[in-house]
Amino acid sequence: LVAPRPDVIFHLAGIVSGEAEANFDLGYRVNLDGTRALFDAVRLAAFAPRLVFTSSIAVFGAPFPDVIPDEFHPTPLTSYGTQKQMSEALLADYTRRGFFDGIGIRLPTICVRPGKPNKAASGFFSGIIREPLAGQEAILPVPRSVLHTHASPRSAVNFLIHAAEIDGDKVGPRRNLTMPGVAVTVGEQIEALERIAGAEVARRIREQPDETIWAIVKGWPTRFEARRARELGFAAEQSFDEIIRAHIEDELDGKIV
């Protein structure tokens, strides 16, 4: 992977949250050991590229203030979050040692994810929008009162590009940044869906509580200050309506079933 000595490396590979919790060994083997193997390959190649690592808001654990400030200490409550936090520490140390120029971006939940559902515990946030818009039923496994922060795939791409281009000296030694996003409840997601696509589409959501998913999701943070990221030029949507419209334009060719 590093033999061509690229100027920029994007490290997005990983086992998602729900699967990392269900399969302890696989989660650590991929999310931590795999990350360190990549970092060491770059170190041994001795060419110091920019390395952009996708971390997660799962590095934070309860109890939380109403808004998570940039100085809030990571205390993950899942194996996935722990693996991401450990990888963040490696990124900061390898950057300090000059092995590469690393930037870690803590992504909010990316919504609406295209394609088929995966094993992420957060997958329903996308599913309750994506499936109804495609004429399919969606399962909602948590209460409508759940508050969460989202950004669109468009924003995720822009986060990655900006992280690849940003001046590392402006970032300083704190190399892991919490990205901005839109904080809404699940109920507000559904209201936005109804505004844009109509009540018939919104009725395709079926509430079916899942205690396993709820146990993971309730340990996640809800809102973020993301001041450092905003000051460094990272930007996301201002409303969940924008996120839904982006999905319709980019993935559905502007059409709703």
- The 3-class SS string of the chain reads CCCCCCCEEEECCCCCHHHHHHCHHHHHHHHHHHHHHHHHHHHHHCCCCEEEEEEEHHHCCCCCCCCECCCCCCCCCCHHHHHHHHHHHHHHHHHHCCCCEEEEEEECEECCCCCCCCCCCCHHHHHHHHHHHCCCCEEECCCCCCEEEEECHHHHHHHHHHHHHCCHHHHCCCCEEECCCEEEEHHHHHHHHHHHHCHHHHCCEEECCCHHHHHHHCCCCCCECCHHHHHCCCCCCCCHHHHHHHHHHHHCCCCCC
* Annotation marks residue 80 as catalytic: yes
Q: Is residue 2 part of a domain?
A: no
pLDDT digits (tens, 9 = 90+) for 28-77: 999 999 999 999 999 999 999 999 999 999 999 989 999 999 999 999 99
User: Both tokens of residue 210?
Assistant: 């899942």
- Asked if the structure places residue 109 within a domain, the reply is yes
Instruction: Reply yes or no on whether the pLDDT at 221 is more than 90.
Output: no
Q: Report the predicted TM-score, pTM, of the whole model to 2 decimal places.
A: 0.92
pLDDT > 90? residue 1: no
For the chain, percent of residues with pLDDT exceeding 70: 100
91-141, pLDDT tens digit by residue?
999 999 999 999 999 999 999 999 888 878 899 999 999 999 999 999 999
Q: Is residue 50 part of a domain?
A: yes
Residue 221 tokens, joined: 């943070």
Residue 236 in any domain: the answer is: yes
| pLDDT in the model for residue 116 | 85
Confidence check: pLDDT of 24 > 90? yes
Query: d(Cα 74, Cα 99) in Å, to the nearest integer?
Result: 24
Owning domain of residue 136: 8-251
- pLDDT for position 101: 99
Is the pLDDT at 18 greater than 90? The verdict is no
Is 223 a member of any domain?
Answer: yes
Residue 51: predicted pLDDT: 99
Catalytic residue among 39, 60, 80, 240: 80
What are the φ/ψ torsions at residue 158 (nearest 5 degrees)?
-65, -35
* Band (86; pLDDT cuts 50, 70, 90): very high
In the chain, how many domains are there?
1
**What band does 25 get if pLDDT is binned at 50, 70 and 90?**
very high
CATH label of the domain that carries residue 54: 3.40.50.720
- Supply the mean pLDDT for the chain: 96
The whole-angstrom separation of Cα 199 and Cα 44 is 57
pLDDT surpassing 90 at residue 167: yes
* Stretch among 25-29, 59-63, 204-208, 230-234 having the lowest mean pLDDT: 59-63
166 part of a folded domain: yes
pLDDT of residue 118: 80
- What percent of the chain has a predicted confidence (pLDDT) above 90? 89
Whether residue 218 lies inside any domain: the answer is yes
113, 202 Cβ separation under 8 angstroms: no
| Residues sharing a CB contact under 8 Å with residue 240, sequence separation 6 or more, in sequence order | 150, 182, 184, 188, 189, 192
The pLDDT value given to residue 97: 98
